[in-house]
Each structure stands twice: as structure tokens, then as C-alpha cells.
Amino acid sequence: MTTENSNPASDIPVISKPANRALGLAGYYNLEQFTQVTEAELLMLHGMGPKGIRILREALQEKGLSFARKR
């Protein structure tokens, strides 16, 4: 697994290559963007799985943020 994000301006933690690629292709580059999307919506991205969601959730919590609530 890589230890660097391919976008140096991104504050999204490195999860796995497929998950980070899926997030980048979907236009996610900053943690704050995840406050507008639910976990279920992210899980629909090819390459994103439960472990990636957990890592993102922990990173959001460190900043006092959270995923959007179910719509």
C-alpha cells in the first residue's frame, strides 16, 4: 500500500489504491466534502469498502466532522 496520496493538496488519508482512485475519480479531494455524502453513497463507488469508510470516519472525527446523515 502506498504511503502518499497522489494529490498533494488532498487531506484525505491514504486507504488503498482502489479506494483512493475511486475517491479521486468521483471528485473527492478534501475531508470536508464527505460531510455532504453518506457512507452508503460512498460504498457504491467501485473500490470503496468498509475498511475505507472506517478510516475516513476516523479522520473526520479527528476534525470534529462526520458523514452526512441518511437522506
The CA R_g of the chain, rounded to the nearest whole Å, is 11
Which pLDDT value is given to residue 4?
43
Does 69 fall in a domain?
Answer: no
CATH number (domain holding residue 46): 1.10.150
Residue 30 lies in a domain: yes
First to last CA, the chain: 33
Residue 3 lies in a domain: no
What span, in angstroms and rounded, lies between the C-alpha atoms of 3 and 12?
12
Could you list the residue range(s) of the whole structural domain that residue 28 is in? Answer: 17-62
The total number of structural domains in the chain stands at 1
How far apart CA 33 and CA 31 sit, in angstroms, is: 5
pLDDT band at 3 (very low <50, low <70, confident <90, very high): very low
What per-residue confidence (pLDDT) applies to 71? 66
Between 37 and 9, residue with greater pLDDT: 37
